[in-house]
Amino acid sequence: MANLNLDNIGLDERPTIIKKLTELASKSNIDGVVCSPSDIKLIREIDKTLLFVTPGIRLNTTKDDHSEVFTPRDAIKLGSNYIVIGRPLTEAKNPMQILHNIIDKIEQIS
């Protein structure tokens, strides 16, 4: 959620909200969180045990309705444990080919 949207509902800036929600998640003993890959570093500073599920994964720069997007490779390099890939697969002419391309790129991460 963008800072402007947070301000509209009376909340502080994004990093403050992320910290508060991460602390709540830690106290609740949950296993993981759904977050942007860009938030993983901040969340990990608070709780190193959480798993990260990251939506908004794209193969190119098309954002659709996401405020930010990441490639599968970038999301994993930033610490994502699970990536959510929706429209790039469901709207593809050949989803299996796209999936194989994604897997190939992920396997190249060292």
CATH code of residue 95: 3.20.20.70
Predicted confidence at residue 4, as pLDDT, reads 56
Sheet holding 32-34, edge to edge: 32-34, 51-54, 82-83
Predicted confidence at residue 3, as pLDDT, reads 55
Number of independent structural domains in the chain: 1
Instruction: Find the domain containing 73 and state its range.
Output: 31-107
In a domain, 51, yes or no: yes
pTM score, whole prediction: 0.80
Write out residues in the chain with pLDDT < 50, as ranges.
none
Predicted confidence at residue 11, as pLDDT, reads 65
Predicted confidence at residue 67, as pLDDT, reads 60
